[in-house]
């Protein structure tokens, strides 16, 4: 084991002996482990995460956000007769009541969540029903937090979906070209530059107040929702690091970006990467159905555009990271960020072609 997990898990309010602790999941940001503990003869699982402190500089404030949001949603879930341990992320606090520990040996920051049992986080949509369930999950999550006072939240990653800022970050990576990679990816660079006008549309609507700023999840990938292993129904929304003020067009768009593609996010064979209008409709139905009347006209008018914008932003971030030498998104092989960027651009081309149809579908619901 890379870290002394016996000691780390031992610092939390868990009454048992650690049996094993192994790498788990496919997140790009934190290091996730599945810990199995013997609690009076019973094997109980926990999710242990080493928090990415390169990115999350102020861990106290990050964890305070997560504490506030999970405690709020747990209360709401209990009030409506649900099971908070399963339907919400649940922090296990340390023996002294803290939300995380800083391990003296490695300097790493670790947190522990209760393991959501009998549930799966899918990497690609295997059945339309799963995607529908994820839409209902994120819609329901937004409803749950509708009364949560956003002012309590610390903006963990300022400008996270500020596409104007993202574009200028991209330009900086391009100008620096630290690894001399730009010359090999001119086609992808041009793809980004040609679409600069996309960047300011939602940023401006939020700034002028025409579009409401709401508490949003900001990382609404399919693999950030747990679905019941038997029924396929949604269980919980996870990965709460990026809960911040934002637009529902971002949350909606990010789900579409990831879920309406039957191939993996890093699929090297672009023939397998296609935007599915059928899945788009499935998501719209689930999401708008769950949100009901809380969606404004301006939001509705920009949902389809949000899908293109979030795909553009993500592709641009993957490309910038490729130019930077793969320092942000975890990679397992050379060229992975470039493959990720290319899948996003293929999806954008597809979406641009059927944009009118996407808008019509949104209008329908």
Judged by the rule CB under 5 A, the positions of this chain that interact with Mg ion are: 27, 224, 239
Q: Contact region for ligand ADP (CB under 6 A) — 56-64, 187-195, 235-243, 268-276?
A: 235-243
Pairwise CA distance, residues 43 & 18, whole Å = 9
CA terminus-to-terminus distance, the chain: 51
Q: Which is nearer to ligand ADP, 29 or 284 (CB)?
A: 29
24 binds ligand ADP (CB under 6 A): yes
Q: Which is nearer to Mg ion, 37 or 237 (CB)?
A: 237
Q: How many residues interact with ligand ADP (rule CB under 6 A)?
A: 18
Q: Which member of 48, 66, 77, 89 binds ligand ADP (CB under 6 A)?
A: 89
Q: Which is nearer to ligand ADP, 54 or 147 (CB)?
A: 54
Per the DSSP assignment, residues forming a β-bridge with 43 are 38
Determine contact, residues 339/266, Cβ cutoff 8 Å: yes
Long-range contacts: 29-32, Cβ < 8 Å, 24+? 29/55, 29/241, 29/329, 29/330, 30/241
DSSP 222: G
Beta-carbon-side half-sphere exposure of residue 303 (alpha carbons within 13 Å) = 26
Query: What is the smallest separation between the CB atom of 244 and ligand GN1, expressed in angstroms?
Result: 11
Q: Which member of 8, 18, 30, 74 binds ligand ADP (CB under 6 A)?
A: 30
| 3-state class (DSSP) for residue 312 | helix
Residue, CB closest to ligand ADP: 27
**89: partner contacted, choices Mg ion, ligand GN1, ligand ADP, none (Cβ within 5-8 A by kind):** ligand ADP
Q: Contact region for ligand ADP (CB under 6 A) — 23-31, 95-103, 251-259, 315-323?
A: 23-31
Largest distance between two CA atoms of the chain:
62
Pairwise CA distance, residues 220 & 163, whole Å = 17
Q: Which member of 37, 47, 101, 320 binds ligand ADP (CB under 6 A)?
A: 47
Query: What is the smallest separation between the CB atom of 337 and Mg ion, expressed in angstroms?
Result: 17
Q: What mask of x and - would describe binding to ligand ADP in positions 190 to 229, judged by CB under 6 A?
A: ---------------------------------xx-----
Query: What is the smallest separation between the CB atom of 152 and Mg ion, expressed in angstroms?
Result: 23
Determine contact, residues 114/214, Cβ cutoff 8 Å: no
Whole-Å CA distances, 246 to 209, 230, 283, 285: 12, 34, 20, 22
Per the DSSP assignment, residues forming a β-bridge with 113 are 47, 91
| 3-state class (DSSP) for residue 294 | helix
Which residues inside 109-138 make contact with ligand ADP, applying CB under 6 A?
Answer: 113, 115-116, 121
- Kindly state the tokens that stand for 179: 């690894």
Q: Which is nearer to ligand GN1, 64 or 285 (CB)?
A: 64
Residue ranges binding ligand ADP (CB under 6 A): 24-25, 27-30, 32, 47, 89, 113, 115-116, 121, 223-224, 238-239, 241
């Amino acid at each position: 084991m890379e870290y002394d997990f016996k000691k780390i898990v031992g610092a939390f309010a868990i009454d048992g002996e650690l049996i094993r602790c192994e790498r788990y999941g496919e997140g790009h940001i934190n290091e996730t482990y599945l810990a199995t503990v013997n609690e009076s003869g019973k094997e109980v699982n926990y999710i242990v995460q080493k928090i990415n402190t390169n990115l999350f500089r102020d861990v106290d404030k990050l964890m305070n956000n997560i504490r506030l949001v999970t405690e709020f949603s747990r209360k709401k879930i209990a009030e409506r007769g649900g099971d908070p341990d399963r339907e919400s992320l649940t922090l296990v606090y340390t023996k002294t009541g803290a939300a995380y520990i800083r391990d003296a040996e490695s300097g790493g920051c670790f947190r522990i969540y209760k393991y959501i049992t009998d549930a799966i986080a899918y990497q690609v949509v295997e059945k339309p029903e799963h995607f529908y369930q994820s839409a209902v999950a994120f819609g329901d999550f937004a409803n749950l937090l509708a009364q949560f006072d956003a002012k309590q939240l610390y903006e963990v990653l300022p400008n996270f979906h500020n596409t104007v800022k993202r574009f200028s970050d991209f330009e900086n990576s391009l100008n620096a070209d630290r690894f001399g990679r730009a010359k090999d990816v001119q086609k992808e660079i041009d793809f980004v530059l040609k679409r600069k006008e996309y960047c300011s549309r939602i940023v401006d609507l939020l700034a002028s107040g025409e579009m409401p700023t709401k508490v949003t999840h900001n990382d609404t990938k399919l693999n950030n929702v747990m679905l019941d292993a038997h029924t396929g129904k949604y269980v919980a929304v996870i990965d709460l690091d990026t809960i911040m003020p934002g637009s529902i067009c971002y949350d909606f768009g990010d789900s579409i970006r990831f879920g309406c593609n039957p191939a993996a996010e890093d699929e090297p064979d672009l023939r397998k990467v296609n935007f599915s209008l059928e899945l788009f409709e499935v998501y719209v139905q689930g999401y708008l159905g769950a949100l009901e009347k809380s969606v404004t006209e301006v939001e509705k008018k920009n949902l389809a555009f949000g899908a293109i914008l979030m795909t553009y932003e993500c592709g641009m971030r993957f490309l910038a990271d490729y130019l930077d030498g793969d320092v942000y998104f975890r990679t397992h092989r050379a060229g992975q960020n470039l493959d990720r960027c290319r899948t996003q651009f293929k999806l954008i081309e597809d979406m641009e072609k059927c944009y009118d149809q996407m808008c019509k579908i949104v209008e329908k619901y």
